Amino acid sequence: MGTYQANTRDVRFVLWEQLEVQTLLGTGRYQDLDQATVDMVIEEAAKFAEKELAPAAEEGDRVGCRFEKGRVFVPECYHDLYRRFCEAGWVNVYSDPALGGQGLPYVMLNVTDEFFTGANFSFFSYPRLAFGAGRLIESFGTPEQKKTYMLKMYSGQWGGTMCLTEPQAGSAVADIKTTARRAGDHFLISGTKMFITSGEHNVTENIVHAVLARIEGAPPGVKGISLFLVPKIRVRADGSLGEPNDVVCGGIEDKIGLHGSSTCLLHFGENGDCHGYLLGPENGGLACMFQLMNEARISVGQQGVSMSSAAYLRALAYAKERIQGTDVGAARDPNARRVEIIKHPDVRRNLLTMKAYVEGMRALLLYCSYMIDLSETRQESEEREKYDLRAQLLTPICKAYGSDMGFRMIELAIQVFGGYGVCREYEVERYLRDCKIASIYEGTNGIQALDLLGRKIGMKGGAIFSDLMDEMGRFIETCASDPELADSVRELALARGKLMEVTQHLGGLMLGGDVLYSLLQAYPYLMLFGDVMVGYMLLWQARVAAEKLRRMQEDAGAQGEQGRLALAAANPEAAFYLGKIGAARYFAAVVLPEVESRCKAIRSGERSAIVLPESAF
């Protein structure tokens, strides 16, 4: 129960050996930070996740939230845990210490997010939303708003929310109806928001809602939406809590998963007395939200990665313990030794599939986060823009591919557990339930695909996409003569070529006016783009690992394949590197060749889904 394992070794591999994030440290904004300090944070975060958060996950799932007369009660075990979480400084690892953060690079926010999410996202949603809403104030708030609200949210004293969705406006945020009427130094907010995470709870004394609404008389559509801070309890001039602010919780959702995380229906201003304070420019609310959307979307993709990593490691441990059947060669011998299920080829295939996807996705998300760091720390504005746009390009892939493939990998983990996998005792079924939501909120995965194809690919006339493909092309060239990886890299080269062709094809259709067909193919396109990126990440890792392993072999005098296997059996580091090479080769041989047939399907011109009359479905 409550067993969670943070994969700190793989995280450190991506940070220090693959991406070489250490080049950020000891200079500029991170002048006072070194690798040893960051490693310590990684270990401490992992420890907190494993020892404190994970043990509360089962109770949170079983007990869930309770709604009573407008109030929401979280599972009892969350209260003390929340206090310890805040005291340990985990609410905000990213912002400047002067603002109450730990001042770590953005990529480290992604790392701690992974551990806390994997261990217990239902709980983590409360401080994570406080941080997310606080980031809006940090970016767009007045000094007064920062002092009044943000600092208390960053310390965890107050909670926070993002209130976009309304009953009639989910994916179509532009259709929101919540209104804001000017009333002296504030606005009166009126409307109903739906599905609001952490919208009401008894974890903190106050909750600061970031609410999208239309100021009366504002233009229709996205250009007439503003952002408001709406505290649950009003704050007096001296910072103390005053009157309730006419925000009423009308109920909570009974969901498939994330039972300990409250998902609320919120009524603002039913009595005409809900005060809201403009955050950012009038009618610029959606733009403000979108500026932080990359961060939010990467973090939702991270939910898929975190939970599938947790599920994979649980399945791996189980497969090494569960005894069932005999080795294939001894099947007819009734006295043959019974073996652990990890000895069976089909189980091994499932495990290696999970390992490859999980580790490849982790690398992709950290790579994308690192692009954000580079966009914030590079000297040249041209470079800053390049990395910013690359992060923007990759964000819908991180979000949709991360959440969907994460979900599918958890399904494989359940398969490895057999019948026990669908029982609560082993927790993998909870990961599946908790993970599903990630493909829906923060813009459904279908919407992510439209964003990728309709907006991101065409950025700067396609130059951002081409630039990424060029980087991949250079990588392929450097590996072409590597005897260990040449075959695998050839598969990546083919897949990259097909991706570029199909991108051009869909772009041509869009420009030619066949928008419907392009949009029909947007999701398959996003997923194959994700596969190519994961293939790239895994082969990049394999190249690093192969080099390290070669050196280890030389040092140990371990020659040839046998020497390498013996070294891996005796030395966990050698086994780790060998695993990296194996996962990359497997992915390149098994998944990347599918890119070609999927591109063919995308280009097939098969339009039944568009032309069939609705009565024929």
Q: How many residues does the chain have?
A: 617
With respect to ligand FAD, which residue has the nearer C-beta, 259 or 314?
Answer: 259
With respect to ligand FAD, which residue has the nearer C-beta, 446 or 497?
Answer: 446
With respect to ligand FAD, which residue has the nearer C-beta, 350 or 439?
Answer: 439
CA distances from 371 to 119, 139, 542, 559 (A): 26, 19, 21, 39
Return d(Cα 19, Cα 117) in angstroms, integer.
23
Residues 6 or more apart whose CB falls under 8 angstroms from that of 357 comprise 308, 405, 408, 409, 534, 587
Residue 182 DSSP label: E
> Residue of minimal CB distance from ligand FAD?
170
Q: Smallest distance from the beta carbon of 285 to ligand FAD, in angstroms?
A: 12
Helix H or strand E segment including 320: helix 293-321
Q: Smallest distance from the beta carbon of 449 to ligand FAD, in angstroms?
A: 8
What tokens were used for 274? 């809900």
Q: Smallest distance from the beta carbon of 540 to ligand FAD, in angstroms?
A: 32
With respect to ligand FAD, which residue has the nearer C-beta, 263 or 306?
Answer: 263
Q: Smallest distance from the beta carbon of 171 to ligand FAD, in angstroms?
A: 3
With respect to ligand FAD, which residue has the nearer C-beta, 294 or 375?
Answer: 294
The answer to whether 249 and 67 are in contact (CB under 8 A) is yes
442 included as an active-site residue: yes
With respect to ligand FAD, which residue has the nearer C-beta, 258 or 363?
Answer: 258
Q: Smallest distance from the beta carbon of 125 to ligand FAD, in angstroms?
A: 9
What tokens were used for 548? 């390290």
Give the interface with ligand FAD as residue ranges (CB under 6 A). Answer: 161-165, 170-171, 195-197, 255, 258, 263, 437, 440-441, 444, 446-447, 450
Q: Smallest distance from the beta carbon of 278 to ligand FAD, in angstroms?
A: 19
Q: Smallest distance from the beta carbon of 404 to ligand FAD, in angstroms?
A: 12
Radius of gyration of the chain (CA): 25
With respect to ligand FAD, which residue has the nearer C-beta, 163 or 310?
Answer: 163
Which residue in 74, 72, 12, 63 sits closest to 39, CA to CA?
A: 12
DSSP H helix total and E strand total for the chain: 21, 12
With respect to ligand FAD, which residue has the nearer C-beta, 75 or 360?
Answer: 75
Residue 337 DSSP label: P
Residue 212 DSSP label: E
Amino acid (1-letter code) at residue 335: N
List, in sequence order, the alpha helices (H) in 71-212. Answer: 77-87, 106-140, 143-145, 151-154
- 34-72: burial string, b at 16+ Cβ within 10 Å, e else: eeeebeebbeebbebbbebbbbbbbbbbebbbebeeeeb
What tokens were used for 366? 């950290």
Q: Smallest distance from the beta carbon of 113 to ligand FAD, in angstroms?
A: 16
Return d(Cα 565, Cα 571) in angstroms, integer.
10
The answer to whether 445 and 400 are in contact (CB under 8 A) is yes
Check 442, 477, 484, 554 and give the catalytic one: 442
With respect to ligand FAD, which residue has the nearer C-beta, 265 or 447?
Answer: 447
- Give the residues across from 504 on adjacent strands: none
Q: Smallest distance from the beta carbon of 515 to ligand FAD, in angstroms?
A: 12
Q: What are phi and psi of 143, to 5 degrees?
A: -55, -35
Return d(Cα 156, Cα 85) in angstroms, integer.
9
Q: What is the DSSP string of 540-581?
A: HHHHHHHHHHHHHHHHHT--HHHHHHHHHHH-HHHHHHHHHH
Q: Which residue has the tokens 């408001």?
A: 228
Q: What is the DSSP string of 313-356?
A: HHHHHHHHH-B-S--GGGTT-TTSPP-BGGGSHHHHHHHHHHHH
Active site residues per annotation: 442
